Chain A
Amino acid sequence: EMQLVESGGGLVQPGRSLRLSCAASGFTFDDYAMHWVRQAPGKGLEWVSSISWNSNSIGYAASVKGRFTISRDNAKNSLYLQMNSLRAEDTALYYCAKDIMLVSGSGSYFVYWGQGTLVTVSS
């Protein structure tokens, strides 16, 4: 069974850092691009970042560019999101999601999502 399990969320002060992880199982991890999508409390979905199967193609939303870094370890079937200089507006449930393609692009969509890990940025 295909599964994505996020971890690493929690309460953090503004300006501090946090690293999220997503453990994948049930599929060949290095055959697919992966994404982080977030959802602020009571708000809509916001795409955050994507990484290709071989980490050669990476993209970020303007709202996080320069502060967040996506990475993956195909040997460990894991996806990561290093979040630095956190702001109150980064408070959200962070989902990892599996692309249907090797590289995120035209035609990408998400069939599989994790259940999310909650990040709260507050003093």
Chain B
Amino acid sequence: DIQMTQSPSSLSASVGDRVTITCRASQSISSFLNWYQQKSGKAPKLLIYAASSLQGGVPSRFSGSGSGTDFTLTISSLQPEDFATYYCQQSYSTLTFGGGTKVEIK
């Protein structure tokens, strides 16, 4: 199975900060990479699909980039409602998720 490694596993940031989360695949997955946001006690929410396509209704401060093995999720200006855990997920082969990145208030 393809392993997905996210970094950092957690970070502290302030409202208004630019935040970048990275996801690395153990082999090339083309652009078959999706990002989810999960708040405590809630189901995950799709943010980005196919590496860089913004899901409908998701604020434009979220963006995704990358292809092959290295991907990033960027939040251009962190808002209070963005404090959550973020997961990448590859769908190139048997689905796997990254370990998650918890974004906390600084």
Partner-B contacts on A (CB < 8 A): 35, 44-47, 50, 59, 61-62, 95, 104-111, 113-116
- B43:A111 contact, CB within 8 angstroms: no
Binding site of A, secondary structure by majority: helix, strand, loop or mixed?
loop
Given contacts A107-B50, A113-B43, A113-B44, contact A44 B34 (CB under 8 A): no
Query: For residue B87, which residues in chain A have a CB less than 8 angstroms away from its CB?
Result: 44-45
A45 nearest CB neighbor, chain B only: B97
B52 within 8 A of A: no
- A106:B100 contact, CB within 8 angstroms: no
Binding site of B, secondary structure by majority: helix, strand, loop or mixed?
loop
Contact of A47 among B32, B38, B49, B97 (CB under 8 A): B97
Can you list 26 contacts pairing A with B, beta carbon distance less than 8 Å? A35-B95, A44-B97, A44-B98, A44-B99, A45-B44, A46-B97, A47-B94, A47-B95, A47-B96, A47-B97, A61-B94, A62-B1, A104-B91, A106-B32, A106-B91, A107-B32, A108-B95, A109-B49, A109-B89, A110-B44, A111-B46, A111-B55, A113-B43, A113-B44, A114-B43, A116-B43
- A109:B44 contact, CB within 8 angstroms: no
Smallest CB separation, A21 vs chain B (Å): 17
